[in-house]
Amino acid sequence: MRKKINEGKTKRIYQIGEKTVEIISKPDITAGDGEKKDVIEDKDIFANNTTCNVFELLNKKGIKSHFIQRGSNNSFKAQLCVMIPVEVVMRRVATGSYLKRVPDILDGTIFDEVKVEFFHKDDELHDPIIIRGRNYWHRHSAKEPISDESFIDDLDPLCTNQEAIHIESEARKVFEILEEAFEELGIILWDMKIEFGRTLDGKIVLADVIDNDSWRIRDKDGNQLDKQVYRDGGDLGDIQSKYELVSKLTNKFSK
């Protein structure tokens, strides 16, 4: 049994068993909801190795995820999940769209406690931010201060309130584990995004991929090592070198 069940901008997913899938990275890199796109040689290999290193570390630290084991050099085996269409963003440093929503805060402000935000995966609306209440979710523009003017509409909750609280708690743990792992390598984790899915037996677990497209990281000299370099128009050869470097750095997570 092997059939393609989904394809995104940077990966393909094949069902290979009743409860298992193979997730294959692509060498593509995109920005601006897919409006900008290029292919970088071996990015799929670097991305998959980074993802596997990250999930192996997180599983060892007690984070429940869909990850089962490595496959080929650009794939891994995972539990079949129904994805929750929410990007969960964790921030240690104020930057990016956060500054547009909270214009009074200075770029580079460091948060004592990791901030966690939910964004609805919707390319047409550029992934609006979700403002959660106990019994409601509101969608607002992600690039404006939260107000009546930025309100888009109400969204039926995509999980229960208890599940949302669990996701937020797990997201903080994920960030803090990776923050510590990177810090030991002289790398500073600014922010990152992750996703969760529901297994066939109803459990919510960390899912999707976590690679150099998923975070903002800098070395202690302030050099950006992640996808932001591509968003900012960087040279593709330089970007390839950064993805290779990060892949090699995460090899040390297991040690």
Position 142 in a domain: yes
pLDDT at res. 77:
98
pLDDT of residue 19: 95
| Whether the predicted pLDDT of 180 surpasses 70 | yes
Please determine, for residue 110, whether its predicted confidence score (pLDDT) is greater than 90. Answer: yes
Same domain, yes or no: 92 and 63: no
| pLDDT value of position 107 | 95
Last residue of a domain, one of 28, 58, 82: 82
134 and 144, same domain (yes or no): yes
Q: Is 54 part of a structural domain of the chain?
A: yes
Confidence bin at 33 (pLDDT 50/70/90): confident
Q: Does residue 90 sit in the same domain as residue 78?
A: no
**35 lies in the same domain as 119:** no
Q: Please determine, for residue 34, whether its predicted confidence score (pLDDT) is greater than 80.
A: no
* Residue 12 reports pLDDT greater than 80: yes
What pLDDT is attached to residue 2? 83
At 118, list the tokens: 């939910």
Given a contact cutoff of 8 angstroms between Cβ atoms, the answer to whether 212 and 225 are in contact is yes
Share of the chain above pLDDT 90, in %: 92
Show which of 25, 58, 82 is a domain's final residue: 82
- The DSSP line for the chain is --EEEEE-SSEEEEE-SSSEEEEEE-SEEEETTTTEEEE-TTHHHHHHHHHHHHHHHHHHTT--BSEEEE-STTEEEEE-EEE-SEEEEEEEE--TTHHHHSTTSPTTPEEEEEEEEEEE--GGGTSPEEEE-SS-EEEE-TTS-SSTTTEEEEE--SS-HHHHHHHHHHHHHHHHHHHHHHHTTTEEEEEEEEEEEEETTS-EEEES--STTSEEEEETT--B-STHHHHTT--HHHHHHHHHHHHHHHGGGG-
Read off the CATH number of the domain in which 202 is found: 3.30.470.20
| Co-location of 72 and 109 in the same domain | no
Using the predicted structure, report yes or no on whether residue 59 has a pLDDT greater than 90.
Answer: yes
User: Does residue 119 share a domain with residue 77?
Assistant: no
Decide if 43 is inside a domain.
Answer: yes
**Residue 169, pLDDT above cutoff 80:** yes
What range defines the domain where residue 51 resides?
3-82
Among the candidates 56, 82, 108, a domain finishes at 82
What's the pLDDT at 255?
A: 66
Verify that 147 and 59 share a domain, yes or no.
no
14 and 74 housed in the same domain? yes
Whether residue 98 is found in the same domain as residue 62: no
Mean pLDDT of 56-60: 97
Any idea which of 1-5, 38-42, 113-117, 226-230 has the lowest mean pLDDT?
A: 1-5
- Is residue 8 located within the same domain as residue 73? yes
186-205 residue pLDDT tens: 999 999 999 999 999 999 99
Q: Are residues 115 and 208 in the same domain?
A: yes
Give the span between the Cα atoms of 28 and 31, in whole angstroms: 10
Strand-pair category, 36-39 with 151-155 = unpaired
Q: What is the CATH number of the domain that holds 66?
A: 3.30.200.20
Q: Are residues 46 and 140 located together in one domain of the fold?
A: no
Structural domain count of the chain = 2
